[in-house]
Amino acid sequence: MKVLITGGGGFLGSHLGDGLLAAGHEVMALDIAPDLKVRHNLGKAGFRYLKGSVFDTDLLESLVAKADLVYHLAAVVGVEHYVEDPFHVLNVNVNGTQNVLKFAHRYDKRLVFASTSEVYGKSRDTPFREDGDRLLGSTEIDRWCYSTSKAVGEHFCFAYGKLGLPVVIVRFFNAYGPRLDRIDVGRVITIFMGQLLRGEDLTVIGDGKQTRAFTYVDDAVQALVRAGTLPEAVGRIFNIGSDRETTILELAETMIRAHPGTGSKVKLVRQEDVYGDSYEDIPRRFPDITRMRTILGVEPKVPLEEGLRRTIDWFKEPFFIR
């Protein structure tokens, strides 16, 4: 099978490409990013890396037409983008997604759309179920533009589904592992990573009692591959993650434990000192993964401390330490 991955040069996209190649599929990876995370696959039979975006419509259409399956992972992700450039977030995540869906529908290609746990917003109905209600904050708060953009993408997926497009939606819960984006920005793990590798204190926003679910990338990729290949997945939403609820304070302590000898400690800081009033934190976020287990047949296997150790070891490679 020939598979197109938009965002194929990113963290999840590069690992998904590995998994598909290992399963014997051909992979076309489309991305605006440098090929750093896929260089180990360059030159391999069955792998092509194409520099371009989901707004390069001629290129995108030609790739979709050649593919048997499309994974749409290209998106603007990261808290720093939500609060600094919401237009870019909305433009890429909504209008770019429409381009991919339009061509997938035109050529009748199955599509897997990468959504996010952010769509649940401030809902307190935990663990989050795929059919649960969503609760978002004011549109005056920029942090909600990402959640909104992904929810709009999901609505477009279902709208195209009614027009006959075979579509699957996956909502990721804090996927992490080797090849994560650069340290010090974006995800909590990469922010902690920069501090940890420099032997600094890990700065936890607020009291650290906020909870998240962290998903090692190998588990996420297994679920992604199944979502794209199992017939019974079509037309469904799947939470992709672990149902182990972890506080941010516990995450920081676990990272220190996974990389002993740094002298790092945990330091609590006020939220307004980091993102100002353009960001609103969520007290609890963890999924119900019944569908992932029963329909996709995937069970998260990599424990948090082990996954963090593997991730830290990768970031310790000289090339990646900044």
**How many whole angstroms separate alpha carbon 248 and alpha carbon 102?**
39
Peptide bond into 127 cis (omega under 30): yes
* Active-site annotation holds for 146: yes
**How many whole angstroms separate alpha carbon 218 and alpha carbon 145?**
29
**How many whole angstroms separate alpha carbon 162 and alpha carbon 181?**
36
CB-count exposure of residue 250 (10 Å: 0-12, 13-18, 19+): middle
The β-bridge partners of 268 are 204
- Given 71, 146, 216, 275, the catalytic residue: 146
Token pair listed for 252: 């920081």
Distances (CA, A) of 7 to 21, 107, 170, 252, 253: 16, 20, 15, 29, 32
At 294, give phi and psi (nearest 5°). -85, -35
Token pair listed for 322: 């900044």
The β-bridge partners of 28 are 4, 48
**Active site residue ranges:** 146
